[in-house]
Structures are given as structure tokens and as C-alpha cells.
Structure 1
């Protein structure tokens, strides 16, 4: 079906990427993952996802800078970014980054599915 929604997950933890891929593919989404935010705009433009999950702790370009780069790009800024972190201060980090929402780690599967549905329905 042509209208499969696409989700891009940025996280430097392979286990998290595998888990998100497993859950979201199972729910019918097309998933791409990346362990770094290098060339963030190029990576995102190549896939043009409907939703992005952005980890806070990424090598090289951190989640805040990566999110800001997406949000300052006229072709990409419409894509919702969900900030993704185990940091206690996640809501202020998400604000600082300009993210649309956030999901605390560790997360449960239902919370992940709910936030995706909310932003993609």
C-alpha cells in the first residue's frame, strides 16, 4: 500500500534501534535508522520520513543541534520530531531543541505506538 508512513529513528544504541524497528515494522510503518546525526539534513531528505525520533546523546552532532538543523530547513521543518532520552530533564531538552514532543526512556511499547499514532494519524 502506497501510503505506508515512514519513521526515521536516530539513536546511537543499536538495541534501541532494533527494538523500535521491530515494534514499528510490526505496526505497519516503514523504518529507517541511523546511529549518528552526521549530515542530518541529507539523511532526512533522502528518506523524507513522516516522523523522526531523535536521541539526545548522539555522537558528533547531538540531538539538540540535529533537531535544530531539521527545524531550520524549510523542506524538512514540517516533519514532527519526537525527542528521545533517558534524561530527567527531557521536556526542557525537547523545548531547547525545538522538538514537537518527547518520549522518555526506558519507554514501554504502548507509549511508543501511541506517540507514533498521535503524530501520524
Structure 2
């Protein structure tokens, strides 16, 4: 079963390209352009990874990430933050994100970060078993 990735990005062009590339890589992808749509889906189903923009029309990706990472039920979900306006150090410290990618980004680099992040999770699960 393919890994499910939620992409939370309000820029439709970026969202479309990221979704297309990730589907080509064999992932299942759901995209959301608002925090409210993302939150509604999170009540129904959890992804294997979240790719999260910082600046959203109805929310802040740093706050969303921090909230998910500090909640016992969702702390295990890896989150990669995307931003053109924040620094990696700030994002990783304040949001508790698993990784960061600066916009604009190279699509191959994005795919590699996602694979690495999912690989870390898989290997940590293997050591627990």
C-alpha cells in the first residue's frame, strides 16, 4: 500500500506540481489549500507524512506543526515544513518539524527529503519491533 502524504499548500501551482511529482513517485497524495480543510481531514484519517506550508490563508504552519507534534496522538506523524519566509533553524526549533525545505525548491531535492524522512520513521519502527 502506498504511503499517504498530505500536502497543505495554498499556492495552487505549487500544490499541483508537488502532487503530480509525488504521485509519479508512487505515493498517495491529498492536497489542502486551507487549514480548515486539512483539520477536517485529520479528524477522519491520518497520513504517513505531512508536507506543510508556513503561510496559509487561515492558519500558520508553524503553529499547526507544533500542535501536531506536541499532541500524543499525532506526534509520530513526520512533518516537513516548506517556507520562503522563515529560516530552517527557526522552523525546526519552534515548530518541532522533522525537516525543512526552503522555497523555491528543487523537486528532486524535495522527493529525496520525503524519502529520507519516511526512511527514518521506517527504520525507527524496525528497531522497536
Taking structure 1 as the reference length, what is the TM-score of the superposition?
A: 0.89
Alignment counterpart, residue 27 of structure 2, candidates 13, 29, 38: 29
Bigger share in helix: 2
Cα offset for 1:47?
A: 3.0
Of 9, 14, 17 in structure 2, the residue corresponding to residue 11 of structure 1 is: 9
Does residue 51 of the first structure (1) align with residue 49 of the second (2)?
A: yes
Greater relative CO (CA pairs within 8 A, separation 6+): 1
State the alpha-carbon separation in 2 of the partners of residues 77 and 40 from structure 1. 16
Tell me which structure has the larger Cα radius of gyration. Answer: 2
Residue 87 of structure 1 is aligned with which of 85, 88, 94?
85
Q: Structure 1, residues 43-70: CA drift from partner, whole Å, max 9, x if none? A: 2242311111110101222111111221
Deviation above 6 Å: which 4+ runs of structure 1?
none
> What 5-or-longer segments of structure 2 have no aligned partner?
120-129
Q: What is the CA–CA distance in structure 1 between the aligned matches of 2:40 and 2:97, rounded to whole Å? A: 19
The whole-number CA distance in structure 2 between the counterparts of 1:73 and 1:115 is 24
1:111 and 2:106 are equivalent in the alignment: no
Residues 53-97 of structure 1 show CA distances to partners (whole Å, capped at 9, x for unaligned) of: 110101222111111221122221100110100125233123211
- Quick check: 1:74 aligned with 2:72? yes
State the 1:40 CA deviation.
4.8
| 8 Å Cα contact 1:45/1:76 also seen in 2 | no
TM-score by length of 2: 0.84
Work out whether residues 40 and 69 of structure 1, in 8 Å CA contact, stay in contact via their aligned partners in 2: no
**Alpha-carbon separation, structure 2, partners of 1:98 and 1:88:** 14
